[in-house]
Amino acid sequence: MSNLIKIGTRGSKLALWQAYYVESLLQKAGLQTEIVIIDTKGDQVLDVSISKIGSKGVFTQELEDQLHDGRIDIAVHSAKDMQSNLPEGFEIIAFTERETENDVIASHKKDLNLSDASKPLVLGTSSTRRVATLKHFYPHVKTVEVRGNLQTRIRKMEEGLCDALLLAYAGVHRMGYDEMIVQKLDLKEFTPAVGQGSVAIEVAKSLDDSIKNQIISACNHTETEIKLRAERAYLRVLEGGCSIPVFALAKTEGENVVLEGGIVSLDGSERISITVSGSKSDPEALGEQLAEKVFAAGGKTILDEIKKNIE
């Protein structure tokens, strides 16, 4: 095979792990690869909260520019960080097999437990979903915003900014910090962000079809794709960027998809979570159906309120 697939990625360790992972899948399929590291606005602006930079494409825009110019053939991202509506001319063609979806508490301190309201606990996170979820289920827990890559966050924690970090298992595991995990959080409470744990491969729609097909057959995990299609369709209706506390998690059961998802108000006072199920053959319809039900149950009011607040 003479085609060289140029893999664009951000330069953080997690992004590089993802790029090397995709590279290994492509190489196993006999394809030649090269990794191209690209700096993004989201990587540069570490002192401002993501919700203030504007969530739309802070981590993806530069990669899309290079996809457009043909300097890279594919862009590798955490599926979770991908907007639900990609800019015109781009598409996700593959989702890699999903890692364990849970959020976890990670710390150098042991004997921490969310449920123990008798001890003060400060958790570092920069996710509005996690903050709002904590306010809802564990109002005694305090939070502090901590940004930067995982290594930076761990350093800030060890310097005393917080007792523990609230993170995705997938990232902690991929970075080799399993021994820091003190608690794996319940999916029913900390229902993950859409796409958490999977790696998405984005291309310019104009990429040659035969190359696309080789990439798909090397990297795409069909069950994961079905789940993420359902979750992302839900997110698309809500137009929820990563600064909005929405969540959804799909499971496949035989020929069906079970999709649970909802929204939390920023102050944690209201949380709506609904489960729908339907055929694997149309996961997007299921995501849309969930959105309709969440809206009807009061989610629309919560969402409008949040959007007003973020502007």
Question: Closer CB to ligand PBG, residue 94 or residue 168?
Answer: 168
Look up residue 142 and give its amino acid: K
Distance CA 93, CA 107 (A): 36
Question: Closer CB to ligand PBG, residue 98 or residue 212?
Answer: 98
Question: What token pair was written down for 189?
Answer: 């409470």
Q: Is 197 in the site for ligand PBG (CB under 6 A)?
A: yes
Question: Closer CB to ligand PBG, residue 31 or residue 264?
Answer: 264
Mention every residue, 6+ apart, whose C-beta is less than 8 A from residue 180. 106, 107, 108, 154, 172
Pick from 171, 240, 262, 278 the residue near ligand PBG by CB under 6 A: 171
Counting residues that bind ligand PBG (by CB under 6 A) gives 9
Question: Closer CB to ligand PBG, residue 197 or residue 299?
Answer: 197
Beta partners for 9? 37
Please state the closest distance from residue 59 (CB atom) to ligand PBG, in A: 8
Residue 115 burial by Cβ neighbours in a 10 Å radius (0-12, 13-18, 19+): exposed
Please state the closest distance from residue 310 (CB atom) to ligand PBG, in A: 17
Please state the closest distance from residue 205 (CB atom) to ligand PBG, in A: 24
Catalytic residue IDs? 81
Please name which of 173, 153, 135, 132 lies closest in space to residue 262, comparing C-alpha atoms.
Answer: 132
Q: Is 128 in the site for ligand PBG (CB under 6 A)?
A: no
Please state the closest distance from residue 208 (CB atom) to ligand PBG, in A: 28
Please state the closest distance from residue 169 (CB atom) to ligand PBG, in A: 8
Pick from 167, 194, 235, 250 the residue near ligand PBG by CB under 6 A: 167
Q: Is 196 in the site for ligand PBG (CB under 6 A)?
A: yes
Q: Is 132 in the site for ligand PBG (CB under 6 A)?
A: no
How far out from the chain centre does Cα 77 lie? 9
258 CB neighbour count, 10 Å cutoff:
16
Q: Which residue is nearest to ligand PBG (CB)?
A: 171
How far CA 279 is from CA of 4, 164, 233, 249, in Å, comes to 38, 40, 15, 16
* Strands 246-253 and 90-95, sheet pairing: unpaired
- Site string (76-115) toward ligand PBG, x via CB under 6 A: --x-xx----------------------------------
Question: What token pair was written down for 225?
Answer: 């794709």
Q: Is 42 in the site for ligand PBG (CB under 6 A)?
A: no
Instruction: Tell me the window of 107-115, 166-174, 274-282, 285-293 that interacts with ligand PBG (CB under 6 A).
Output: 166-174
Edge-to-edge order in the sheet of strand 74-78: 32-37, 4-9, 74-78, 199-204, 90-95
Distance CA 259, CA 280 (A): 11
Answer for the pair 93, 212: CB distance below 8 angstroms, yes or no: yes
Q: What is the contact surface with ligand PBG in residues (CB under 6 A)?
A: 78, 80-81, 167-168, 170-171, 196-197
